[in-house]
C-alpha cells in the first residue's frame, strides 16, 4: 500500500491460528470446525463432521456462503 502511503503495523497471523480463535469465540466445538466440513457442490449443501447436511441459505455480501 506504498502508493497510498499506508503503513501496516503487525501481521494477520497464521490462518489456522485465526480460524481456531474464531471457532473458540463462537463457542463451536472444535470437532465441528470448518476444516472438518465438506462442501457438496452437486447438492448445494455442506456436510458437517456428524454427517448432517446443511442447506445453502444465501451468499453474504463479502462472498461467504451461509448454510443452515
Classify burial at 30, counting beta carbons within 10 Å of its beta carbon; exposed 0-12, middle 13-18, buried 19 or more.
Answer: exposed
Residue 44: pLDDT over 70? yes
Q: Which pLDDT belongs to residue 25? A: 92
Residue 65: pLDDT over 70? no
Range 31-50 average pLDDT: 87
Q: Bigger pLDDT: 11 or 32? A: 32
- pTM reported for the whole predicted model: 0.50
Q: Bigger pLDDT: 25 or 60? A: 25
| Residue tagged 490462518 (cell numbers) | 15
Amino acid at each position: 500500500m506504498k502508493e497510498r502511503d499506508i503503513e501496516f503495523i503487525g501481521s494477520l497471523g497464521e490462518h489456522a491460528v485465526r480460524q481456531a480463535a474464531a471457532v473458540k469465540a463462537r463457542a463451536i466445538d472444535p470437532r465441528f470446525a470448518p476444516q472438518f466440513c465438506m462442501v457438496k457442490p452437486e447438492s448445494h449443501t455442506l456436510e458437517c463432521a456428524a454427517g448432517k447436511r446443511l442447506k445453502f441459505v444465501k451468499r453474504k455480501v463479502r462472498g461467504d456462503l451461509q448454510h443452515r
